[in-house]
């Protein structure tokens, strides 16, 4: 049982807790490490701020109930086990960084 995985983007082997959860995938994790996803998303958002706002709205509407439930269920241990958010939770959360 390996708890390391090679990021598809930076090709660095990192512990799986560095990856986000993605239930759409068989192994349940994103292909890219958290750092790469954050960098890529940050850049994408900088380049596409208006589109991001639109998408954010759609994502939030779609996942509002899951999002609320997730927070209720994980209020106290959000970052505990290495802090793997589901990717869409994180996608919503990044908006926090951009609310200035
Ligand atoms: Zn990476």
Rounded Cα distance between 38 and 11, Å, is 16
The pLDDT value given to residue 5: 93
pLDDT tens by residue, the chain, 100 residues: 568 999 999 999 999 888 888 777 888 888 889 888 888 887 887 888 888 778 778 877 887 887 778 777 766 655 444 445 566 666 666 554 444 3
- Distance from residue 52's CA to the centre of ligand 1 (Å): 22
- Distance from residue 34's CA to the centre of ligand 1 (Å): 7
The pLDDT value given to residue 38: 81
Length of the chain: 100
- Distance from residue 69's CA to the centre of ligand 1 (Å): 29
Report CA 21 to chain centroid distance, whole Å: 7
The pLDDT value given to residue 90: 63
Instruction: Label residues 7-43 b or e (16+ Cβ within 10 Å = b).
Output: beeeeeebebebbbbbeeeeeebbbbbbebbeeebee
Task: State the pTM of this model.
Answer: 0.61
- Distance from residue 17's CA to the centre of ligand 1 (Å): 13
């Amino acid at each position: 049982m390996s708890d390391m995985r090679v990021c598809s983007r930076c090709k660095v082997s990192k512990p799986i807790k560095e990856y986000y959860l993605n239930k759409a995938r068989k192994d349940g994790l994103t292909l890219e490490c958290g750092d790469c996803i954050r960098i890529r998303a940050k850049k994408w958002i900088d380049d596409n701020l208006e589109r991001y706002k639109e998408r954010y709205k759609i994502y939030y509407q779609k996942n509002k109930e899951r999002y609320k439930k997730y927070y209720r269920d994980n209020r106290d241990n959000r970052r505990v086990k290495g802090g793997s958010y589901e990717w869409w939770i994180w996608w919503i959360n990044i908006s926090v960084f951009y609310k200035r």
